[in-house]
Structure 1
Amino acid sequence: MKKIGIIGGSGFIGSHITKKFLKEGHQVKVSSTNINKEEKYQHLWKFPNTDKLQIQQLDVANKEQLTDFVSDCEIVIHGGTPFILDFKDPQTELFDPTIKGTENFLEVISETPNVKKVVFIASVAAYNTNFPMPAGGKYPNNQFDENDTPFMSKESHPYAQAKFIANQTVSKFIDDNPNTHFEITSVSPVAVMGKSLSNREDSTSTGLQFLFKNKIAPNPFVQMLYDTNAEFAMVDVKDVALGIYKLATITGLHGKNYLLTSETYPVSDISLMLNHKNPINKAKIIYQNQLAKQELGMEFQTIQSSLNEY
């Protein structure tokens, strides 16, 4: 079985990815920004086949560490960019680690001949930095898919802008390097929901579900979501992990970026479902998932079942 390097493999999405690859019998190496903080990754040791699991310290800004991390991997999954809604300095907390980290990663991978496949965990922000609001020129009920022109606004949250620019960096690299020794594919999940595999308290996805369940607004951004009853396109975390597994193990997908998405509901209905009540509104399908269904064989579970697992 191939050796898989997972940058960010102990986070909310990353833990599900790590579990999937271990279950399938692969050798898995997971990065940790600080190997001494075992509480960040200790839950991984509860997964099956942990005799095939390795934890290695990695700062993506450190090219020497990055080179060492990928040196014996055939497949590398990069999901190590920060997901932060509350920040003090967007440049150092979001833009630098996301964009410069992507640039460093591409440079190192280009010099590592054993790597055959790279999967980037991008974001719906790679297509629309206004998410969950509509992209510029669109209305709330307008559908959106991979063929739509990506939209970026400097008024958007810095996290979304950073993810957009990082995805553009990957696209430019693909265009400028047509003869790489490895394939690059990306996934762009919408709002990722579901059950965490750890007790970590630093997960933004888990924390956002907690806020919605209890109708708490710790900052103006979340308050705006309540005030507008914003509609969220969502996807289950297990479906995201499965999609990434498929991308990593299917060849011939170089240069593609797949939206991973299920149903759309307003925040008021998300709160109801997180409290095990039925939504008032019917689910909408705003962000499209046909490409993932057709080319990856994906099926996406309902959002009510995802939120009931939180």
Structure 2
Amino acid sequence: MEGGGKVVCVTGASGYIASWLVKLLLSRGYAVRGTVRDLRDPRKTEHLLALEGAKEGLKLFQADLLDEGSFDEAVHGCDGVFHTASPVFITANDPQAELIDPAVKGTINVLKSCAKASSSVKKVVVTSSTAAVLVREPKPGPGDTVDETFFSDPAVCVEQNQWYILSKTLAEEAASRFAEENGIETIVINPGLVIGPLLQPTLNFSVEVVLELAKGNNPWNSRFYRFVDVRDVADAHIKAFEIPSANGRYIVDSSDPVAVDHVEKVFQEFYPDLRIVGKNEEEEVYSASFKMCVDRVKSLGIEFTPVDVSLRDTVQSLLEKGFL
């Protein structure tokens, strides 16, 4: 087994990407410590404890992003840490308290726990987002190729009231700075709009986009979307941890945008009763027809799941869980 009994911590273990990360780590022989905000909440624990290998290989800990030191116990003695915990929603009454503080202070609190456990923790993999890549002026447009050298501009995020994007951008900056100052080997994963089957019982932001499309809505009023499979994103995290030469940032996203017309064809093929309406000519920056360079993550051995398969499996999961 690849894990060879190594002990790793996954923060925010009940989340969408994190749940798949826990599942894959267990299947590869790792001993996993998962942190959740509330151990008494079955929506955050039951699906994890039901995973194959969880009885032998998974231990859950309670920890809060804003509570410095609350990750110490979970991280102590680990070989590596996967920091995925961060709030994901677009609108907020108090962006600083609801989004920015949990993302930035939470990341620093987790890394502080890693620094305390530096004798054992060899590598930290941080989940960021292409949100921390794409929001800048000038916007990426047709003919442009976006890669890991692109960073979102906090000033542009503030100007556009893009608070979630600002939280991811500032959290990634803070992680890189703290890691460098404290000698912690840190790798950043920047996934795009993540879709695929749900393990958790609750609906998350990115899969809700597919749900809306499947209901006949066009939530971003866009002719193009970019999708990446949650299983590929989780796999990229693990490969980044396992491969000694892995370093820096890795964009994990579709290299080309997917037209809403194509999404509609996929739905019609697999689920003829579904339809998409509301298409229009307005495009968002995330769906512009630029290319996304994914050479770096492919160099880790990631083979992307075809988007048709991801869309099919997402809708099947939504149906099975009663969301559709």
Q: Could you say which TM-score interval applies, normalised by the shorter chain? A: 0.7 to 0.9
Shift of 1:298: 1.2
- Counterparts of 2:100 and 2:152 in 1: how far apart (Å)? 19
Instruction: List aligned pairs for 1:62-211, cutoff 5 A.
Output: 62-113=67-118, 114-129=120-135, 136-148=138-150, 150-152=152-154, 153=156, 154=158, 155-177=160-182, 180=183, 182-201=184-203, 203-211=204-212
Q: Residues 211-253 of structure 1: CA distance to partner in whole angstroms, max 9, x if unpaired?
A: 1211347xxxx4xx21xx2522221110001101101112233
Output the TM-score relative to the length of structure 1: 0.85
How far does the alpha carbon of each residue in 1:32-81 deviate from its partner, in whole angstroms, 9 at most, with x for none?
A: 10111012221122322111111111102112311122112111100000
| Cα distance in 2 between the residues matched to 1:139 and 1:67 | 44
1:304 maps to which of 305, 308, 311: 308
How many residues are treated as equivalent by the alignment?
290
Deviations 1:81-117 (A, max 9, x none): 0111232221111011001111222222222122111
Aligned match of 2:295: 290
Amino acid at match of 1:53: L
Is 1:212 aligned to residue 208 of structure 2?
no
Q: Evaluate the alpha carbon distance shift between residue 142 and residue 285 of structure 1 in structure 2; reply closer, same or farther with a 3 A threshold.
A: closer
Structure 2: gaps spanning 5 or more residues? 277-288, 315-324
Letter in 2 for 1:243: A
The answer to whether the Cα contact below 8 Å between 2:79 and 2:123 also exists between their aligned partners in 1 is yes
Paired letter, 1:209: V
Counterpart among 32, 36, 44 of residue 40 in structure 1: 44
Q: Is the 1:33–1:58 Cα contact (8 Å) retained in structure 2?
A: yes
1:260 aligned onto 2:260: no
- Judged with a 3 Å threshold, the aligned counterparts in structure 2 of structure 1 residues 137 and 309 are, in CA distance, closer, same or farther, namely closer
Query: Partners of 2:210 and 2:234 in 1: how far apart?
Result: 19
Cα 1:232–1:239, aligned 2, differ >3 Å: closer, same or farther? same
Q: Which moved more, 1:121-130 or 1:160-169?
A: 121-130
Q: What is the identity percentage for the equivalent residue pairs of Structure 1 and Structure 2?
A: 26
Q: Secondary structure at the match of 1:118?
A: strand
Which amino acid is the alignment partner of residue 308 of structure 2?
Q
Residue 266 of structure 1, CA deviation: 3.4
Equivalences for 1:46-57 in 2 at 5 Å? Answer: 46-50=50-54, 51-57=56-62
Task: Look up the match of 1:9.
Answer: 13
Deviations 1:113-155 (A, max 9, x none): 221110000100121236xxxx624314422111345444221
SS at match of 2:308: helix
The offset of 1:264, in angstroms, is 1.4
Q: TM-score, normalised by structure 2?
A: 0.82
